[in-house]
Amino acid sequence: MNSMLKDVITIIFIALQALTAIFGAYQIVFSLFGLSYRKHRITTAPSKRFAVLVAAHNEANVLSPLLENLLHLDYPSELYDVYVIADNCTDDTASIARAHGVRVAQRNTVDQHGKGYAIRWMLDRLQAGSRSYDAVVMFDADNLVSENFLRVMNDRLSNGKRVIQGYLDSKNPYDSWVTVSMAISYWYTNRMWQLARRNLGLSCALGGTGLCIDMTLLQELGWDATGLAEDTEFGAKCVGLGIYPEWAHEARIYDEKPVTLRASMRQRLRWMQGHFACAETYASRLIVDSVRERNLAKLDAAVYLFQPASFLVIFLTGFMLYWQVTAPSTALFASVAHLLPTWFWILVNLFVVIQMPLAMILERVNWRGFLGLPLFPFFMMTWFPVTLIALFTRHNKTWAHTKHSRALSLHQVRSKP
CB-based contacts of 196, cutoff 8 Å, min separation 6: 30, 31, 32, 33, 34
Rounded to whole angstroms, the Cα distance separating 137 from 51 reads 6
pLDDT per residue rounded down to tens, the chain (417 residues): 566 766 676 676 777 777 777 777 888 888 999 999 998 889 999 999 999 999 998 889 899 999 999 999 999 999 999 999 999 889 899 999 999 999 999 998 877 777 888 899 999 899 888 899 999 999 999 999 999 999 999 999 999 999 999 999 999 999 999 999 999 999 999 999 999 999 999 999 888 899 999 999 999 888 876 666 677 888 888 999 999 999 999 999 999 999 999 999 988 888 888 888 888 888 889 999 999 999 999 988 888 887 655 556 666 666 666 666 666 555 555 555 566 777 777 787 788 778 889 999 999 999 999 999 999 988 988 888 888 888 788 777 666 666 776 777 787 787 766
157 and 238 share one domain: yes
pLDDT of residue 408: 75
28 and 63 share one domain: no
Instruction: Look up the domain containing 91 and give its range.
Output: 50-259
In-domain check, residue 334: yes
In-domain check, residue 92: yes
239 and 330 share one domain: no
pLDDT of residue 362: 96
pLDDT of residue 63: 94
69 and 172 share one domain: yes
In-domain check, residue 327: yes
73 and 28 share one domain: no
DSSP secondary structure string, 71-117? TT-SS-GGGEEEEEEEES--SSHHHHHHHTT-EEEEE--SS--SHHH
21 and 161 share one domain: no
In-domain check, residue 293: yes
Q: How many domains does the chain have?
A: 2
Rounded to whole angstroms, the Cα distance separating 239 from 130 reads 31
Rounded to whole angstroms, the Cα distance separating 394 from 308 reads 12
241 and 334 share one domain: no
pLDDT of residue 19: 74
pLDDT of residue 401: 63
CB-based contacts of 246, cutoff 8 Å, min separation 6: 156, 161, 163, 164, 165, 198, 204
CB 52 within 8 A of CB 329: no
252 and 297 share one domain: no
In-domain check, residue 3: no
Torsion-angle region of residue 11: left (phi > 0), alpha (psi -120 to 50) or beta? alpha
In-domain check, residue 27: yes
Question: Within 10 Å of residue 142's Cβ, how many Cβ atoms?
Answer: 27
CB 252 within 8 A of CB 166: yes
In-domain check, residue 6: no
pLDDT of residue 311: 59
Instruction: Write the CATH number for 133.
Output: 3.90.550.10
pLDDT of residue 323: 67
98 and 145 share one domain: yes
173 and 230 share one domain: yes
93 and 185 share one domain: yes
19 and 65 share one domain: no
How many angstroms from the chain centroid is the CA of residue 44? 28
Q: Which spans in 294-327 are helix H?
A: 296-305, 307-326
In-domain check, residue 134: yes
CB 296 within 8 A of CB 198: no
- Whole-structure pTM value: 0.88
